Structure 1
Amino acid sequence: MTSQEDPRLSADVPGERVVSGKDDQAEGRVTAVRRGNITEVINSDSLSQARTSTELDTLTLHEERARVEVLREQAGSVSIRKVIRQREEVLPVTLTTETLEITVRDGAGKVTLNGEVLEPGRTYEVIVHDEKAVVQKEVFALSDVTLNKETRTYTHTENITLLREELDVRDPQGLVREVKLDD
């Protein structure tokens, strides 16, 4: 049995090797089967077997595998601060004024107020009590705000196509036969 590379196939298809066998007409048909490092040659006419181990070539088959890396990105940011806003409110307040009315009648004599003589027939007012609005501000708690940071974990799926090399053996002359070993 001989082995050779067909340069036409090797040039067209990278990584392809052709193993061929010859038909020996004098001895009959020769069948060669390669298993691992062993090439088994069987002469079908004489039923004799001979085993030889000849390494023809080594092919490395490759495949792609996915490796996932998780990148952490800042999606946004939030600024939190207290802000004081002003607003105007109109508060209705009821105030009371208490007055003393003085009316002088004719012929009643002389009436003075703070050294002034009051005229008869007129009414005078003296404020006894007066109320004024005094506004005081008090601070009350309006609401409590709780700030939480939450982390959510979820499963995301990515579809990826991976390539794998496979060995494609072509035997157009039909030389390869299954051989059963009597080991």
Structure 2
Amino acid sequence: MDDPTEQQLLPERRESVGILELREERAVVQTIRELTGTVQVRRERRVSQETVTVNLEREVLVITAAPGDVRVEVNGEALEPAQEYELLVYEERAQISVVPYVSERVEVFKQTRTEVVSQEITLAREVLVVDQKEGDALAQTPVTPEQVAGQSQETRPNGTRGPDRE
């Protein structure tokens, strides 16, 4: 700076005149679960009549009076010759009960199947186009959002600063 030929450079002055927000459309996919039907699973008891056949035994003591001089008396009753008297020793009775057993096993479950569905959609994207007059011709120069992304402050058209949310 001691050199008088050295020029002093003043810092450039920059003034923001506005920020344009360029937007692009993005696909947002939501899945909607729709109830298409209901299923009710239950057990029902079906009743039928069955006939059960059982062989039951009885054991009896048979007393027969033989012809002759001897007189046979059973329970105070005299038996005539060749007459039979039966005394019940034991008898079987049927005691029928119903016991449930597993006759079939049925497995009930839910299963989810995933299906891939593709659908083409059209998405739009805004780009910044700068029109600059060069002589009599008008030149259009597209500017990408990456080139504009370097700015950190946003100015709305009404002069306020901050993110513009719709």
Q: Do these two structures clear the TM 0.5 threshold for a shared fold by scoring above it?
A: no
Q: Which has the higher contact order (CA 8 A, sep 6+)?
A: 2
TM-score range, shorter chain: 0.3 to 0.5
